Structure 1
Amino acid sequence: TAFLHGVLKERVLMEQPEGYIKKGKEDMVCLLRKSLYGLKQSPREWNYRFHTFMVKQGYLRSEYDPCVYLKGSEVRNMVYLLLYVDDML
């Protein structure tokens, strides 16, 4: 899923998950390198990655709505991309 591909820009540590705790190392933590569901950073990282891709493709983000991207210079040849994300499980 999209939220599992975000690269974290800050250091995020988590407790070892149940079933993966090593004997003698119960107090150690895991360093996350990618975003996960449930992290506050996940939606932001996903949006940053998507926005970066769109800009590389020549789109501009609308000044009025951050979910709208535009490409082209003439009204007749303009491409409008509307972004909608439904994260319902």
Structure 2
Amino acid sequence: MEQPDGFTQPGHEHLVCKLKKSLYGLKQSPRQWYKRFDSYMLQISYKQCEYDSCVYVKSLDDGSSIFLFLYVDDMRIAANDMHDVLALKALLS
């Protein structure tokens, strides 16, 4: 077993985590995932739509907007410029 990429701590490469219980399949799993996702979107300056909590909007410097639509575990991104879409995809990966 190895530490996941990006989580390796220098000098502690030999350490791993013991999984007490799988998060997958638990009834609270979707809520925990959504809370983490929502927190990250707000951190990167997106605003949640007040009428639909699964729609996030960010106004860009050029006056345009970028939208992220979330449905269960699927996302759709809408923007005028493909560069903006790719930048958001990079932030989410």
2:25 to 21, 32, 38: 38
The runs of at least 4 aligned residues of structure 1 exceeding 6 Å deviation read: none
Distance, in Å, in 2 between the alignment partners of 1:49 and 1:78 is: 23
Distance, in Å, in 2 between the alignment partners of 1:47 and 1:59 is: 15
Q: How many residues align?
A: 55
- TM-score, structure 1 as length reference: 0.51
- Say which one has the larger Rg: 1
**Residue 62 of structure 1, CA deviation:** 0.6
Distance, in Å, in 2 between the alignment partners of 1:63 and 1:86 is: 20
Distance, in Å, in 2 between the alignment partners of 1:73 and 1:54 is: 15
**Residue 85 of structure 1, CA deviation:** 2.8
**1:7-86 correspondence runs (5 A):** 32=21, 36-72=23-59, 76-86=63-73
Q: Which has the higher strand share?
A: 1
**Residue 83 of structure 1, CA deviation:** 1.1
Q: Which has the bigger relative contact order, CA under 8 A and spacing at least 6?
A: 1
Per-residue CA distance 1:46-73 (angstroms, 9 max, x = gap): 0000000000110011111111001017
- Confirm or deny: 8 A CA contact 2:54 2:71 kept in the other structure: yes
Letter in 1 for 2:41: M
- TM-score, structure 2 as length reference: 0.49
| Structure 2 gaps, min length 5 | 1-18, 75-93
Aligned to 1:18: none
